[in-house]
Amino acid sequence: MRARPASPPARARRGAERPPVLHVVAPESLRSWFPYFVDLGPGDRVVHVGERPDTDLEPLEAILAAAPGTTAVIHSSHETLERDCDIADLLREAGHAVLSQSRACAALGADKVAMKEFFDRHGFASPPWTHPGDGGLGLLGDPLVVVKGRHATQSHGTRLARRAQCRLTEDELCEVYVDGTEYSVVVYRDEHGVAVFPPVWKGDTSQRLTPPWRRLRLCPHHALAADAEGRLRSVSLAVAEAADAAGHIEIEYLVTPDGGVLVLEINPRIAGTMRLVAMATAVPFFSLHARPDLRGDLPAALCAGELPYSGPAFNDPSASAFATSRLTVGGRTFVEVGEKLELGPWLRPLSRTA
């Protein structure tokens, strides 16, 4: 992670090597911290378009028309995946270069039934599941299941039930509850290849169903064995390629006590763990399209950790600390990270639910 926006000389050198970039940013949560994780060169622009269903294309087209050769890079949220695919198609039809999530991958991220069918079709191990449309044939007996909203995100509507009593609606599915440890792996994929980031540790599953974004998260994790990390990285590469991911995608996992790796979900958009891996690897996370040298298995150069946070948003790059709904800090060691989370000046408004 760069501590502050790049200096003018550095920007000038990069500007001579690549065409201008228009960053089209949808997630509202990125407004405060996006500039600290991107390399902006001369002529580059950042436009925050928000997450409304409709977006006025005229300002974007005006910027692109005024600077021929500019590439539009679209950063999507869960709510804007379909909208942003439409924007990308319209801009391409107008003759502009666009980098955005593929429509096929976006469709998987927007529909958990399609996602689960994708896992089954490609042989990616996942907890057994069912939904009203399959007649209940996907599960045997009466196991404890996690009920999820078919189109939901951030654990909205998630509940625990017995299969026989869960009464799924048409907009729900359920999967067998499994004990284990949750991880996320962030992947970036484009025409230059694939970059796989270090796994993010998100703690153990619990029947309380505390969502990962309300727990402590760490990257990398000292207790993750090298062979287990290798499996998570290799499966992530395979998932990203099978899904035709374009740009960033987060893949969520459950590692069982016997070492099994189960794929839980994919999020082909900007996800909560991405600031954490950006700080751990110290790369210009939102400029990977311009850095084809940053491909393969990216190592962790630093340690990073985060906790839920309910205070005012802030950015303190000199202390490697950023806060929105999460307080994310970096350090040379996890002792330093722990000291920042426990003793930093941000602790007073800190709200933890572990």
Q: Average per-residue pLDDT in the chain?
A: 89
Q: CA-CA distance, 44 to 84, in Å (whole number)?
A: 20
Domain count within the chain = 4
In the numeric block, the tokens 């948003």 are attached to 313
Coil, strand or helix: which one is 350?
A: coil
Domain span including residue 172: 128-176
Instruction: Extract the tokens encoding 3.
Output: 């501590």
pTM: 0.90
pLDDT at 157: 81
Residue-wise pLDDT for 124-161, tens only, equals: 999 999 998 776 556 778 899 999 999 988 778 899 99
Domain-embedded: residue 105: no
Domain-embedded: residue 113: no
| Residue 345 reports pLDDT greater than 70 | no
Whether residues 205 and 260 share a domain: the answer is: yes
Whether residues 68 and 96 share a domain: the answer is: yes
Whether residues 254 and 222 share a domain: the answer is: yes
Domain-embedded: residue 120: no
Coil, strand or helix: which one is 243?
A: coil
Instruction: Extract the tokens encoding 343.
Output: 């003793």
What is the pairing mode between strands 321-323 and 326-331? Answer: antiparallel
Single residue among 299, 314, 335 that ends a domain in this structure: 299
Whether residues 191 and 253 share a domain: the answer is: yes
Domain-embedded: residue 60: yes
The mean pLDDT of 213-220, rounded to a whole number, is 93
> Is the CB of residue 45 less than 8 Å from the CB of residue 24?
no
In the numeric block, the tokens 């509850």 are attached to 177
Q: CA-CA distance, 19 to 168, in Å (whole number)?
A: 51
Number of H helices, E strands in the chain: 8, 19
Q: CA-CA distance, 351 to 214, in Å (whole number)?
A: 9
Confidence of residue 18 (pLDDT cuts 50, 70, 90): confident
Nearest to 17 by CA among 36, 44, 37: 44
What is the pairing mode between strands 71-75 and 21-25? Answer: parallel
The mean pLDDT of 343-354, rounded to a whole number, is 45
Whether residues 88 and 23 share a domain: the answer is: yes
pLDDT at 342: 81
Q: Give the CATH number for residue 233.
A: 3.30.470.20
Domain-embedded: residue 109: no
Domain-embedded: residue 115: no
Residue-wise pLDDT for 32-82, tens only, equals: 999 999 999 999 999 999 999 988 999 999 999 999 999 999 999 999 999
DSSP state of 318: G
**Sign of the CA dihedral running 213, 215, 219, 225:** negative
Q: CA-CA distance, 79 to 188, in Å (whole number)?
A: 20
Domain-embedded: residue 293: yes
Residue 294 CB neighbour total at 10 angstroms: 17
| Residue 174 reports pLDDT greater than 90 | yes
Confidence of residue 343 (pLDDT cuts 50, 70, 90): low
Q: Give the CATH number for residue 69.
A: 3.40.50
The mean pLDDT of 178-190, rounded to a whole number, is 97
> Is the CB of residue 276 less than 8 Å from the CB of residue 138?
no
DSSP state of 268: -
Q: Among 98-107, 145-154, 288-297, which stretch is predicted with the lowest mean pLDDT?
A: 145-154
pLDDT at 141: 81
| Residue 346 reports pLDDT greater than 90 | no
Domain-embedded: residue 3: no
